[in-house]
Structure 1
Amino acid sequence: MKKDDFYQYAVDGYRPVENMMKMVPADKLDWKPGESFMSLGQLIRHLADGIGTELEMLVRNTWPQQAEGQGMPSCSARDALSMLERDKATLRALLDAVTEEEFAEKVVSTPWGASGKLERMAFFFQEHFTNHKMQLFTYLKLLGLPVNTQTLYMG
């Protein structure tokens, strides 16, 4: 897949997440379906990193260090939407900075041991984003909000 095709594929996947983030009740950011789950606020904060922010860390090998005992950050839906919008620009800039050959052939790796060609890793990061999109959908469903298949896939 060419860089521009991947960009469009990724951005198309953002639309349903953006619309679901707009549905998040401000008074439910601390809600979670069970003790070992992320809260709704943590989940939307994690989704707000999108794909570009994570791929940028992958390509530049600039991973943040999380302090011992520090939990996952949380944020409001408004902040998450703003961050996700910035992530689109980050993704575009990152893809513009690599050649088609680098996108297809450059080998990159994560601190947790995953490695592969950039294009393949980009798809893994997109899959990760999609899995959390489904998690957000499920949270909203459990909270009784009006979500359905169209919400999940079309926004």
Structure 2
Amino acid sequence: MNWKELLTRQTEQAYKVVTHLVGLCNDSELNWKPDEENNWMTTAQLLYHTANSGGKPMNGFASGSWTSHEHVDGDMEKSKKMMPPATSMPGVSSIAEALQLLEADKSLALETIANVSEEDLATKPSPAPWDPKPVILGIRLLEMVEHLNQHKAQLFYYLKLQNKSVGTFDLYGV
């Protein structure tokens, strides 16, 4: 299997499951969060962040042009201190908006994968705004699929904590 096949397969599967989980959310519960303490995002904020976790950063890595992450610079410790509190993060206003944003991000992710060469995926150094060490582009894009999967799991647990009937098959899309 080559990089493009691997990335496409993993990306499609991640978005399939996230889309399913978003569909289990309700507009009336968008302000829900696990706890008032500990800087938790609301469901609306988590959905917004999740819908911007794959395609946009993949495109940033592939193009070298970043439109977000202004709170991050080359000093990781300084950047950690600059991370915005959850209360300042944007959120979606509806499940329909979350699904629309997610579909657009998925399209951007798949377009990005389609437009990079196998050679670039295997050899092109791709620094991150938060991590300037040289890592090849294919690994960086795979890390963004993992980023999306982390938020998929977070959404899964938000649903469980809201007593939604979700199980392993919902998490893995079986």
TM-score clears 0.5: yes
Quote the Cα distance in structure 2 between the aligned partners of 1:112 and 1:2. Answer: 24
The root-mean-square deviation of aligned C-alpha atoms, in Å, is 2.0
Letter of the 1:8 counterpart: R
- Answer yes or no: is the 8 Å Cα contact 2:61–2:128 preserved in 1: yes
Tell me the alpha carbon deviations over residues 89-145 of structure 1, each in whole angstroms, 9 at most, x when there is no partner: 212221222110001111111111254101111121111111111110000000111
Whole-angstrom CA distance in 1 between matches of 2:26 and 2:101: 18
Q: TM-score, normalised by structure 1?
A: 0.90
Structure 1 position 31 matched with structure 2 position 50: no
User: Which residue of 2 is the match for residue 48 of structure 1?
Assistant: 51
Q: Which moved more, 1:86-95 or 1:72-81?
A: 86-95
Query: Equivalent residues in 2 for 1:107-146 (5 A)?
Result: 107-115=125-133, 116-146=135-165
Could you tell which deviates more after superposition, 49-58 or 16-25?
A: 49-58
1:134/1:113 Cα in 2 relative to 1: closer, same or farther (>3 Å)?
same
Moved over 3 A (4+): 65-70
2:51 touches 2:102 (CA, 8 Å); kept in 1? Answer: yes
For structure 2, the residue ranges without an aligned partner over 5 or more in a row are: 72-81
Q: 2:168, 2:64 → 1: CA distance?
A: 37
CA deviation vs aligned residue, 1:32-80 (integer Å, no higher than 9, x gap):
1123111100101111124222110122232235589782110022111
**Corresponding position: 1:14 with 2:15:** yes
1:27-106 to 2 correspondence within 5 Å? Answer: 27-34=28-35, 35=37, 36-65=39-68, 66=70, 71-75=88-92, 76-106=94-124
Structure 1 CA distance, aligned partners of 2:147 and 2:40? Answer: 16
The TM-score with structure 2 as length reference comes to 0.81
